[in-house]
Structure 1
Amino acid sequence: MPYGPFLVLELANNCSLDFMQEHGTVHPQHYAFLVSEPEFDEIFARIRARGVPYWADPRHRQPSTINTNDGGRGLYWEDADGHNLEIITVPYGGS
C-alpha cells in the first residue's frame, strides 16, 4: 500500500518494509531478519534450491556454511542489487 513516497510491505510481526523509488545510485545496505527455526529451514532450502551463494559471515569469507552465533543459526547472501541480506534465529547477543 502506498504511503507518501513509500510502497509499504506489511509483515506478519507488525513490522513493514518500506520501499521508495530512487533515481540516483543506490548504495548496498545490510538487512537482517530474525526468523524462527522452521522459517530458517524454509528460507535456507530456497537459497540452496536456487543455487544462491551464501556465507556464514558478513564479509563473505566463509562460503557455503552457516554460523551458530549466539546459540542460533545464521547466514548471509546478496540480493540482485548487492544488498547483504541476513537471517538469524536468535537476536544478536543471545536470547
Structure 2
Amino acid sequence: MAITMNHLIVPATDRTTAATFFADLLGLRVAPQAGPFAPVRVNDDLTLDFDDRRDPQPGHYAFLVDDDTFDAVMERLQSGSADYGSGPMSGWDREINHLGGGRGVYVRDPNGHSYELFTADPA
C-alpha cells in the first residue's frame, strides 16, 4: 500500500480567516465546517483542516504546483497586500526564486505560517 497524506491540522488564531486566506491564495474554496475545523481540500488526497488555537506556532507548508497555478497565485499576490518573497534568506522581498530550474515563492499568512509554492522540486 502506498502512503498518502490525507489531512493536516493547521493551527490558527481564527480558523475561518486562515482557511479563507489559504483558499483565496490557491484559488480553492473553504468547505462547510467539519467538527471544529474549517477544511480546505487541496486535491483528491489532501485536506488542510484549520483549527482555532491559542498562540499557534508558525509552520511551513510546501506545495509543488503547475505553471498555470503558479501564475494565478502570483497575479493574486501582486494585486494584494500579503507578504511574499523569494526565500527565507531574502525576507519578504516580493520576488520569486528559481531553485531547481523552476519558479518558487514563499507567502506569509496572518498567523505567521509560510506557504512555499514551487514549480520544480528544488531538492
TM-score, normalised via structure 1 length = 0.79
Residue identity matched to 1:70: G
Whose helix fraction is larger, Structure 1's or Structure 2's? 2
Match of 1:37 in 2: 67
After the TM superposition, list the runs of 4 or more consecutive aligned residues in structure 1 that deviate by more than 6 angstroms: none
TM-score, normalised via structure 2 length = 0.63
Deviations 1:13-61 (A, max 9, x none): 4211122222x21111111121110000000000001133321112444
Structure 1: stretches of 5+ with no match in the other structure: none
CA-atom RMSD in angstroms? 2.0
Match of 1:58 in 2: 88
Structure 2: stretches of 5+ with no match in the other structure: 1-32
The percent identity for this pair of structures is: 32
Give the drift of 1:85: 1.5
Number of aligned residues: 91
Match of 2:34 in 1: 2
> Aligned partners of 1:62, 1:83: CA distance in 2, in Å?
13
